[in-house]
Amino acid sequence: MTVKLYDTDSYLYEFNCKVTSLYSDNDYIYIETDRTAFFPEGGGQTCDKGSLGGINVENIQIIDGKIVHFVKNSEENAKKLKIGTVLSGKIDKNKRFSDMQQHSGEHIFSGIVNSLYGYNNVGFHLGSEVVTLDFDGELNEDDICKVENLVNEAIWRNLEIKVTFPSDEELSKIKYRSKIEIEGQVRLVEIPGVDICACCAPHVKFTGEIGIVRVVNFERYKGGTRVSILCGERAMLDIRHKLKQNRLVSNLTSSKQDETAAAVERLRNENEKLKFDLIGMTRDFLTLKSQSIAHEEKIVIFDEKLQGKLLQDFAISLMDKTGKFAACFSGENGSYRYCIVSRQVNLQPLAKALNSRFSGRGGGKPEIVQGSISAESEKEIKEFLEGFEI
Ligand SMILES: [Zn+2]
């Protein structure tokens, strides 16, 4: 059985080990060793990164209860690996430490939620971005703020995080959180006065090393709450990025950095009003335009200003100016919306032919048809309508 060096020393980033088993397939060589400091993927956390004997370790999994290191299968790598060979292992320090900050932060958060509200952490994911925690009860914004405050207070108290391996008898007297029934030796991670939880992952030694825990999102999830947190450096980088965004918004809106939301709201309201005014002015303009159009057998108009309902309104305003039909189009880059009106002829066959010629869709009543088509140019639509016998 491989000795898990990370069980008792989470800061062991370099170690030696002996190869005890080797097998391979097309992609990988699978290495088991007498001991390892590599934390394998498990319990919602991704595995460590690093190298063994100078070879990059691609993955570490527990297979049939054994810790297996995956390295790329190549001739060169195969040559270096023999049963009994002593390899030096190197753990990617930055990833390990960041994972420890996230995981220890998660324990404090879950422990405090459990003691305040009695909810259990029933789902945990620690990948390369946010850490998600699923609780089997609902937390509102006030609850989240309260927990976040208490979590950070526990960090500032710089509590020692203790890892113990209690006997069954000792264990029976301890109240601890556990997600699953554990067979064999239980490893407890205790943060005094805050949390005791069965866990196999590496943790920081003192809570102060977590630095800060920030909740970046929370939402209802499966009848409970999914909370997304960032701890330590990840929290700092996130805050830096968001403060920069706010600073840019502050510059763009010429507002103070703590009043950007009000400034954006003001801009949005102004924008709504401008849009409303513009629609009114466009309508006035189109009324004048419609009045200036002379009576013709077929009227065909293309105008990008015919947005939304204006297209239909404008077409209807031309109804009495045409012997056969008035066709109005709006659009660009090859795709057009159309509305065609007539008091004299049934437009349904025209709509059908138009859709069929220009891969379009739509239809309507004999006196008004609407839809959308694709065409390379306005010209080919105009030519089609000019030539259409109706
Ligand atoms: Zn844990």
pLDDT in tens, 281-299: 999 998 999 999 999 999 9
Q: For residue 14, what pLDDT band results from cuts at 50, 70 and 90?
A: very high
pLDDT tens-digit series, residues 356-365: 999 999 999 9
Instruction: Please report the pLDDT score of residue 34 as a whole number.
Output: 98
207 C-alpha to ligand 1 centroid (Å): 14
Q: Give residue 297 CA to ligand 1 midpoint distance, Å.
A: 79
Contact 314, 370 (CB under 8 A): no
Q: Which fold has domain 3-91?
A: Elongation Factor Tu (Ef-tu); domain 3 (2.40.30)
Whether the pLDDT of residue 242 is over 70: the answer is yes
Q: pTM here?
A: 0.80
Q: Which of 43, 48, 59 is nearest to 5 (CA)?
A: 48
Mention every residue, 6+ apart, whose C-beta is less than 8 A from residue 187. Answer: 7, 163, 164, 165, 198, 199, 200
pLDDT tens string 56-77: 999 999 999 999 999 999 999 9
What burial class does residue 306 get, using C-beta atoms within 10 Å of its C-beta: 0-12 exposed, 13-18 middle, 19+ buried? buried
Distance CA 336, CA 84 (A): 73
Quote the mean pLDDT of the chain.
95
Average pLDDT over every residue of 159-187: 90
For the cut 70, the answer to whether the pLDDT of residue 157 exceeds it is yes
pLDDT band (50, 70, 90) for residue 181: low
> In whole angstroms, what is the distance from residue 367 CA to residue 347 CA?
6
- Separation of CA 378 and ligand 1 centre (Å): 65
Q: Which residue has tokens 């009495």?
A: 320
Residues 368/316, Cβ–Cβ less than 8 Å: yes
Task: Please tell us whether the domain made up of 293-387 is placed in CATH 3.10.310.40.
Answer: yes
For residue 208, how far is its CA from the centre of ligand 1 (angstroms)?
A: 17
Measured in angstroms, how far is the CA atom of residue 177 from the centroid of ligand 1? 10
Confidence of residue 9 (pLDDT cuts 50, 70, 90): very high
Instruction: Give me ligand 1 centre to Cα 110, in Å.
Output: 10
CA distance 196 to 163: 10
Query: CA-to-CA distance for 79 and 389, rounded, in angstroms?
Result: 81
CATH of domain 96-243: 3.30.980.10
Within 10 angstroms of residue 112's Cβ, the number of other Cβ atoms is 21
Structure letter (DSSP) for residue 181: -
Type of residue numbered 233: E
The domains of the chain are located at: 3-91, 96-243, 255-286, 293-387
